Amino acid sequence: MVNLALSWQEAGISAACLAVAAVVATRSRRPGLVAAAGFARETAVVLALFGMWQLAGSFVLMGPEGAVDRGEWIWRVERAVHLPSETAVQLAFLPHPLMVQALNLYYAGLHFVVVIGCLIWVYVWHRRQYPRVRTTLVLFTAAALLVQFIPVAPPRMLPGDGMIDTALRYGQSVYGSVAGFNADQLSAMPSVHVGWSLLAALVIVEVSRSRWRWLALAYPVLTMLAVVVTANHYWLDGIAAALLLALALVVQRLSRTLYVRFGGRSRRDQPEDVRAPVFTPASTSSARWQATSRPGRTSRSAGTSVVQRSMANGQRG
């Protein structure tokens, strides 16, 4: 199977090339290239973030020995709170190979494509909302990376849960022909796939004015179904991702409120002589007159006034 996702090396190289191109285009001072530079710079930021996510997946703060134990603990908690069994959901899809293979492809690459498409849409048609969307994406992904440093085995690695690795069965595994027990596969908690899909859906609902925008909420629901059927995530992985996204939104809102409150207060507390000057027609005319009467520079009007004053003095004498 062709891996639809970028590796961290590919993402890093792409981000670096776009960043250099953005600098060159900005220095050209051509309007078209300057506009393209902004787009290239934002794309570089997202690719760099994605590369960090891919790279972080290969590192863990703890050894893989406790990954299965933590996965089994999540499984027991889900049963204790009476969440639906992931095994029962997967068994309902296994008799339909085409659907399972489609969900494997969905899990492998669609999440990244949709997030990039959503960012492009907001950047081009809703530029004012773009900084907030990008910041939310960065905050959520960074928080998810911190949690993923603690290894958790996905459901397909748990012994005795009855789930199978559907991507490995159909030769569609993004981890190679053999699903090994390595750090790159121990990032089950939380599900970045679910978090990104939920963010994209919320952005579409908030920014778009179409009456069909509410259909976007089906995207995170389908993503949650895909990660469960493919045995890559638990229900709680998606719930944790939603909570982290909510936390990122709250932090961003609080930071804006504090900035407006204390930033505006510090602005009012500044003495008047350090505030930005306000230029009026009178002050502009005065500045212009001073510029024309600098030492070493004599204008025609200044010379005429001198001659007129000399003639007046002569008449008086």
pLDDT digits (tens, 9 = 90+) for 222-281: 999 999 999 999 999 999 999 999 999 999 999 888 888 886 565 555 555 444 444 444
- Read off the pLDDT of residues 30-43 as tens digits, 9 standing for 90 and up: 888 888 888 888 88
Model pLDDT, residue 27: 86
Q: What is the mean pLDDT of the chain?
A: 80
Confidence of residue 301 (pLDDT cuts 50, 70, 90): very low
The number of C-alpha atoms within 13 Å of 55 and in the hemisphere containing its C-beta is 12
* Residue 281 confidence (pLDDT): 41
pLDDT for the residue numbered 164: 93
